[in-house]
Amino acid sequence: MSEKTKHTQGFDTRAIHAGFLEDKSNALITPIYANSTFAYEGFESQGQYSYARFGNPTRTSFEKALASLENGSDAFAFSSGMAAISAVFNLLPQGSHIIISDDQYGGTYNLIENMLKVTSKHEVTYMDFSPIDKLFGKIKPNTKMIWVETPSNPLLKIANLREIAIAANDHNILCVADNTFASPYIQKPLDHGFDISLHSTTKYINGHSDIIGGAVVVNNNDLAEKIRQIQLNTGGVPSPFDVFLTHRGLKTLGIRMKKHSENAMKVAEFLHKHPKVEKVFYPGLKSHPQHQLAKEQMKEFGGMISILLKDDREVVKSFLEKLQLFELAVSLGGVESLIQHPATMTHKSIPLRKRNIMGITEGLIRLSIGIEDADDLIYDLKQALDK
């Protein structure tokens, strides 16, 4: 191979080539190293790998590629999104105060309320980050972490990453962004000053609804070493096969996110005009309260939409059961379009009173727009709404 010249590669090029590990076979794709253990090179030299919980070439290849796409120094793969989330919370000393989005994934809420408050004695303040000026009044002497989802799940709120990062850095507080809904193609929280960007790689990064996984990306050597030790000692690492599939999905992330976003924009515009839809939550619409901010910090507007129908379970049930192309299922980010009812599915662990305050009511429906033909998706939604 000829000598490589210096050149800054684009996102799609890095998605395909970053992290590649050459081996003696000259394989074009990093193989699945299905090893639990690796032979030492000698009595006093173990080589790069020794035991698969500590590291695996298949996993290393994926982690390097993801770090490149997030503009991070290091990435760490986990066995699930919740394992990645738990790893980040493990950075905190007991009795820490956490400020977190009031509108966030139900699994994160459940972990905080039913485990972290009990075992780690953490204090938690839930807030709406869209009016950023309220953040400063929430910070306490023991505030150790600010945690945001943007776009949030399921109301698609947009948080100002740069302003939150400035506030966090001024007070020596770790700031964490759950970047699952956007993916590194659409936004890079580390570029805005965040310490950590995390993902459920089950979703857009893998993109094919056939694995469970998570990842944490950082751009700081000390923080990377702490996450590495948590990954090593808690052992929530993915299998080589799952990492292989996730890395395969990562290679097409850019082209998939363009199609997800293009389809979602068309679907959102259709739903916005439909008389039976009371409200559409999509940052690409000018009616979204943070549309301008979304334009500034996101490359595309993503594939997630939420809508509000009449606040009546029978109306919602009838609509969902009449759909033919959209599948009723939890999760998101796959090539196929999914639809779900947050109040009874992803966010059912949140108490009813809090759900209602957050706006996660009976009439709220979340759509994950796939990469099918947009006209077919619109036809399916129209026939279900019209009936």
Provide the annotated active-site residues. Answer: 53, 105, 178, 203
- Give the separation between CA 299 and CA 293, rounded to whole angstroms: 11
Amino acid present at 16: I
Q: Which residues of 7-16 are buried (b: 16+ CB within 10 A; e: fewer)?
A: eeeebbebbb
Extended strands (E) in the chain: 74-78, 97-101, 123-127, 143-149, 174-178, 196-199, 214-218, 279-281, 304-308, 327-328, 338-340, 364-368
Burial-class residue 304 by CB neighbours within 10 Å (0-12, 13-18, 19+). buried
Amino acid present at 183: S
Angle at 125 between CA 138 and CA 284, to 5 degrees: 90
Q: Compute φ and ψ for 364, nearest 5 degrees.
A: -85, 130
Report how far Cα 211 is from the mean position of its chain's Cα atoms: 14
Contacts by 127-133 with C-beta closer than 8 Å and gap 24+? 127/99, 127/100, 127/101, 127/102, 128/101, 128/102, 128/103, 128/157, 129/101, 129/157, 129/159, 129/160, 129/164, 130/157, 130/158, 130/159, 130/289, 130/290, 132/159, 132/160, 132/163, 132/164, 132/167
Report how far Cα 276 is from the mean position of its chain's Cα atoms: 30
- Give the separation between CA 46 and CA 51, rounded to whole angstroms: 10
* Nearest C-alpha neighbor of 109 from the set 358, 361, 362: 358
Q: Is 98 helix (H, G, I), strand (E, B) or coil?
A: strand
* Nearest C-alpha neighbor of 117 from the set 137, 100, 132, 139: 100
- Give the separation between CA 29 and CA 13, rounded to whole angstroms: 14
Tokens 């699930």 -> residue: 80
Cα diameter, the chain: 74
